[in-house]
Amino acid sequence: MKELSVFIDESGDFGEIKERPAYYLVTFVFHNQDNGIEELVSKLEESVRGSGFDVEYIHTGPVIRREEVFAKYSIDERRKLLYKMLNFVNRCPISYLTVIVDRREATDKIALSGRLAKAINRVMSEHIGFFSDFDKIIVYYDNGQIELSTILNAVFSIQFSNVEFRKAEPQKYRLLQAADFICSMELLRIKRDEKRLSKSEEHFFYKPQELKKTFLKSVEKKKL
């Protein structure tokens, strides 16, 4: 049986828009279970431990902003950690898609839900040939936002008869962390293009063209 795992992460929420422009992003990371990643996961975890990090979850936004458990690490240490995730993503036999909704066109929960459902349904339909190659599809999401959970269940259940949903914790799945990383990169791509990177983001990616050439271009190669 050929099995596809889909790992999902989002950026944004269904609440009131606090700044404009604002976007809601959903990233889908696809992994054909025939292509094992156990060795890559082991190497990543050994590298993280070997560099002195005591972290289960490489949470990209907090790594950049020096938040949560990453507050005790210097910028050089945090940059090293993010490069480890970048290398892991580059080496992994995965692909991804990201759906983006402009919140200026979806100012409340109902409008956002409708636009997200249509956008996700459209992108799944456009790649139906890819999905039809699998006997089973397993969707992993942490159910962090109930509105998105509802949309995902509805769209996937309509599109596919062979789908199963599993609640998953990012601490236990490196590919959920990869989805978080890619989703963060896609948001940084938008902010960079609009010339509105935050001070912490500019401080973190301080080398000229590093964000574009090292991170964004390599991540984009994984796009389905």
Quickly state the pLDDT bin for 7 (edges 50, 70, 90). very high
Asked whether residue 20 carries a pLDDT value surpassing 80, the answer given is no
Name the more confident of 189 and 1.
Answer: 189
Quickly state the pLDDT bin for 17 (edges 50, 70, 90). confident
| Structure confidence at residue 55 (pLDDT) | 93
Quickly state the pLDDT bin for 36 (edges 50, 70, 90). very high
| Structure confidence at residue 19 (pLDDT) | 74
Give residue-wise pLDDT tens across range 122-166. 999 999 999 999 999 999 999 889 999 999 999 999 999 999 999
Of the chain, the percentage scoring pLDDT greater than 90 comes to: 90
Range 85-113 average pLDDT: 95
Comparing 13-17, 52-56, 83-87, which segment has the lowest mean pLDDT? 13-17
Q: Is the pTM of this model over 0.75?
A: yes
Computed over every residue of the chain, the mean pLDDT equals 95
| Structure confidence at residue 191 (pLDDT) | 96
Give residue-wise pLDDT tens across range 48-59. 999 999 998 999
- DSSP string covering the chain: --EEEEEEEEES-SS---SSS-EEEEEEEEEETTS--HHHHHHHHHHHHHTT---S---HHHHHHT-GGGGGS-HHHHHHHHHHHHHHHHHSSEEEEEEEEEGGG--SHHHHHHHHHHHHHHHHHHTHHHHTT-SEEEEEE---SHHHHHHHHHHHHHH-SSEEEEE--GGG-HHHHHHHHHHHHHHHHHHHHTT---HHHHHHT-STTIIIIIIIHHHHTTB-
